[in-house]
Amino acid sequence: MKLIKKVLTAAVATAMTAGAAQAAITDNEVRIGYLADMSGTYRDLAGPNGLEALRMAVEDFGGTVNGKKIVVINADDRNSPDVASSTVRQWLESDKVDMVAGLVASSVTIAATKVLEGSDAIGLVNGSAASSITNEHCTPNHIHWAYDTYPLANSTASAIVAEGGKNWFIVTADYAFGHSLENDVRTVVERDGGKVVDTVRHPLATNDFSSYILQAQASGADVVGFANAGGDTVNSVITAGEFGLAQSGQTVAALLFFLNDVHALGVQTAQGIQLVTGWYWDKDKDARAWSDKFYKRTNARPGMVHAGIYSSTMHYLKAVEATGSDNAKVVRAEMAKTKVNDMFTKGGYIREDGRMVHDMYLAQVKTPAESKNEWDLYKIVRTIPADGAFRPLSESKCSLVKK
């Protein structure tokens, strides 16, 4: 009997020790690595202002979690999957990073999350658009927060086809994000009775879109869709205007159009363009209040990626605080069981595939007469309810989804 009691006591002690180890904050610090394009095509999308949004979250949280200091380091991924892989690997092995934030170009994100998979760290994706990130490229070590290509294609393309834009020509960025958006648009267009007559692909950070626009113009398609982002979208829209696509009767569809893109173009050029966004700085009082704080620090209004970085970082830090752990599995489970109610969304939730599900918005760029100032750019046409916005789990290819 005494022997049994000793064995049981030892087993309980071992379990308690293991539980304590799992629950502990390693190295007595919570270490966050911010990885993004800091100087190239996607600089304005996340870049330095995304880092500022992350720092705001850390400051608003108080700079510590359960008495443990929050440390932030950052790096420029230079839009290179190889740079992303090596940076994340170094962060995990040498710098003991617990969470990676930012993650913009989809090819970069997929490379980074492959390194994160199986590690004791988590990635919070906000800048990337490819819906494959929580579909065929899902892992138990990352969460996709702000938006993805599925609602962009589903809402924008569906609305345009319904208005008579049946035949499409798509100008696509030649990497994971562009391919994903093109495929999602094709699915929606064909589902709704339209047709993609042709596509052309361009390298990231293309300066001259003339040849692509001429091909689109010659195709005679009703709609010319741009499955690209950042500076590429801005240059595409400007070139389309120079070649008179709209005047010749073709509809221009910017399938991923960010606030900073519209601001760069101005409402005189961008007026009337419809787009889908996961957040808008002027959508409600909570968004406005946070945006005012952001504006004072950056002299710019935040886009959905900046807001997503702040929101996801705060949700992560709350989970670390609640569990007393920076263990990826423990923290992700806590994040998933806790609804997201903040300046970004109300009632958001994290699915088993790692997709954070929340309302999306169909917006239209205001006319010069409607816009009251340089950042008064959108009017919200309608809300796309959370449960209908993102790819349904019944269509998922994610290995984490129970069939």
**Which tens digit of pLDDT belongs to each residue from 353-365?**
999 999 999 898 9
What span, in angstroms and rounded, lies between the C-alpha atoms of 314 and 317?
5
**350 assigned to some structural domain:** yes
Residue 37: which domain range? 28-147+283-358
* pLDDT mean over 377-402: 94
* pLDDT mean over 339-368: 96
Clarify whether residues 173 and 194 are in a common domain. Answer: yes
What span, in angstroms and rounded, lies between the C-alpha atoms of 61 and 107?
31
What span, in angstroms and rounded, lies between the C-alpha atoms of 336 and 122?
13
pTM of the full predicted structure? 0.88
What span, in angstroms and rounded, lies between the C-alpha atoms of 193 and 191?
6
Instruction: List the structure tokens of 344.
Output: 């970004």
pLDDT confidence of residue 230: 87
| Order of strands across the sheet that contains 378-384 | 274-277, 360-365, 378-384
**76 assigned to some structural domain:** yes
Helices assigned H by DSSP within 266-342? 267-270, 285-298, 304-323, 328-337
Name the least confident of 20-34, 223-237, 239-253, 274-288: 20-34
Clarify whether residues 96 and 221 are in a common domain. Answer: no
**16 assigned to some structural domain:** no
What span, in angstroms and rounded, lies between the C-alpha atoms of 233 and 256?
8
Clarify whether residues 165 and 209 are in a common domain. Answer: yes
What span, in angstroms and rounded, lies between the C-alpha atoms of 128 and 149?
9
Instruction: List the structure tokens of 219.
Output: 């195709």
Clarify whether residues 82 and 197 are in a common domain. Answer: no
Q: pLDDT, tens digit, for every residue of 125-157?
A: 999 999 999 999 999 999 999 999 999 888 889
Name the least confident of 246-255, 325-334, 355-364: 246-255
pLDDT value at 1 more than 70: no
Confidence band (pLDDT; 50, 70, 90) for 159?
Answer: confident
**371 assigned to some structural domain:** yes
Q: Structurally, how many domains does the chain consist of?
A: 2
pLDDT confidence of residue 11: 42
**10 assigned to some structural domain:** no
* pLDDT mean over 189-196: 97
Helices assigned H by DSSP within 135-284? 149-151, 158-162, 176-191, 210-219, 231-242, 259-265, 267-270
Name the least confident of 90-104, 264-278, 304-318, 322-336: 264-278
Q: Quote the DSSP letter at residue 156.
A: I
Clarify whether residues 242 and 253 are in a common domain. Answer: yes
Report the share of the chain in percent with pLDDT over 90. 83
Clarify whether residues 218 and 316 are in a common domain. Answer: no
Clarify whether residues 171 and 254 are in a common domain. Answer: yes
pLDDT confidence of residue 74: 98
* pLDDT mean over 38-56: 95
**20 assigned to some structural domain:** no
Map residue 277 onto helix, strand or coil.
strand
Clarify whether residues 260 and 379 are in a common domain. Answer: yes
**304 assigned to some structural domain:** yes
Clarify whether residues 141 and 222 are in a common domain. Answer: no
What span, in angstroms and rounded, lies between the C-alpha atoms of 68 and 282?
35
pLDDT value at 21 more than 60: no
pLDDT value at 5 more than 60: no
Domain of 367, CATH number, reads 3.40.50.2300
Clarify whether residues 162 and 89 are in a common domain. Answer: no
Clarify whether residues 250 and 369 are in a common domain. Answer: yes
Name the least confident of 211-225, 336-350, 376-390: 376-390
Confidence band (pLDDT; 50, 70, 90) for 23?
Answer: low
* pLDDT mean over 87-110: 97
Clarify whether residues 269 and 175 are in a common domain. Answer: yes
Q: Quote the DSSP letter at residue 250.
A: P
- Sorted by sequence, the CB contacts under 8 Å of residue 121 that are 6+ apart come out as 91, 92, 97, 98, 99, 100, 141, 328
* pLDDT mean over 388-400: 95
pLDDT confidence of residue 20: 40
**399 assigned to some structural domain:** no
Which of 336, 358, 380 corresponds to the end of one domain? Answer: 358
- Measured CA to CA in angstroms, residue 95 lies from 31, 71, 98, 122, 288 at distances of 8, 11, 9, 14, 36
> Do strands 346-350 and 223-227 pair parallel, antiparallel, or not at all (unpaired)?
unpaired
* pLDDT mean over 279-296: 98
What span, in angstroms and rounded, lies between the C-alpha atoms of 77 and 91?
13
